[in-house]
Amino acid sequence: EFFRCVGPGECFGDAALLGVFTREFQARAGSNAICATVEYEAFEEVNRSKGRTRGSLDQKMKFIERIYLFRGWEVYRLCRLAFVLSERTFALGCKIETRDELFMLRRGRLNVMAPGAK
């Protein structure tokens, strides 16, 4: 059963940030897609940190700032999160299976569906 379509600048898997690793939904690439991902442990490390991080990660930081989950975050936390982001590419129709990652779509489209949906 189709649930929703995720486009650039949107995310899914945010329950993983709360430690909920059982997925209610699965995703399948609705087009060739590029996602920025962050694993739960890396997110938690950034979320708990109080220190400042230096460095220029402007492109990733600007992308993260547009994600609703991170609006209002301090610059140093955005920078640290940008530092731990990785990028993954998914071909059209590719099934995306993970438990502990947040996906932030940079390009393309993902279809989020109930488990077992085709």
User: The sheet that has 95-96: what strands, in order across it?
Assistant: 2-6, 110-113, 26-29, 95-96
Contact 107, 8 (CB under 8 A): yes
Q: Where are the domains of the chain?
A: 2-113
pLDDT tens track for 33-67: 988 888 777 777 777 665 444 334 577 888 888 88
Q: What is the pTM of this model?
A: 0.52
**Structure-token pair, residue 60:** 């990733």
